[in-house]
Amino acid sequence: MTENRSGTPQFATAEYSGGAADNTCRSCGQKIGDAFYRVNGVATCADCTRRLQQQMPQDSHKAFVRGVLFGCGAAVVGFAIYVAFALSTGLVSGLVSLAVGFLVGKAIALGSGAVGGRRYQIAAVVLTYMAVSLAAVPIAISVHMKQRNAEALPTQVSDPAAAPAASPAAAPAASPAATPAPKMSFGKAVGMLTLIGLASPFLALTDPMHGIIGLIILLVGLRIAWRLTAARPLQIMGPIVKPAPATSG
């Protein structure tokens, strides 16, 4: 049983449409006999068609887990690249998300042995989005720490000699102890930062122009990851039988 281009089973024998390119198998280079197949639109002999079918990677739980693990590693690398670029240049460029999508998609395809499909595509999109969106958390923390350090710089007195010496009698009375604010637990803080990071592409829409451009670039990166992990089944049509040459009578 073979398949046509639409993926539906084909049991009938197709008629030969003619063409010099159909005389040679594009896989092994040997001359094709009276019958051949078209694999992804290319003329292929019967032996090579069977070999290609046997060599097609098969989907399995092991292949999926391995692909996701490779994708997680690539997402971590992409996350690090995004953060390092932003902290070293001072620029937050959404174009880095294109590279992240490419890395994640290629890693999943490599880990799964070139097996693709819907669940691989979903995993690639989720990992790419997480890597790009969560990169906003360390970037925002770094910016906040720099601003805090700048505000904490001591104010220098222009003329230290003119500053009056403080006497013990003039010391201000101790103010009543302020009630310390309740501290947030580490787990809660991490969870809150994670939620903020995941929502960061949409929170950036407060600046409509910058936010929309960044969101569009992110969608392009997600599309790259989606396409790289798509299934690529063989499209087989045939057997196609060459018509007997016309005899002059």
Q: Look at residue 118 in the predicted model and tell me its pLDDT.
A: 94
pLDDT tops 80 at residue 198: yes
Per-residue confidence (pLDDT) for residue 8, from 0 to 100: 40
The residue extents of the domains of the chain are 2-56+233-241, 61-149+191-228
Return the exposure string of 93-113: e unless at least 16 CB atoms fall within 10 Å of the residue's CB, then b.
ebebbbbbbbbbbbbbbebbe
Predicted confidence (pLDDT) at residue 188 exceeds the cutoff of 80 = yes
The proportion of the chain whose per-residue pLDDT surpasses 90, expressed as a percent, equals 32
- Arithmetic mean of pLDDT over the chain: 78
Which pLDDT band holds residue 70 (cuts at 50, 70, 90)?
Answer: very high
d(CA 22, CA 17): 9
Angle at 214 between CA 210 and CA 216, to 5 degrees: 120
Average pLDDT on 70-88 reads 94
Query: What would the pLDDT profile of 80-127 be if each residue is shown by its tens digit?
Result: 999 999 888 877 777 899 999 999 999 999 999 888 899 999 999 999
What contacts 200, CB < 8 A, 6 or more positions away? 133, 136, 137
- For residue 218, how many C-alpha atoms fall within 13 Å in the half-sphere facing its CB? 25
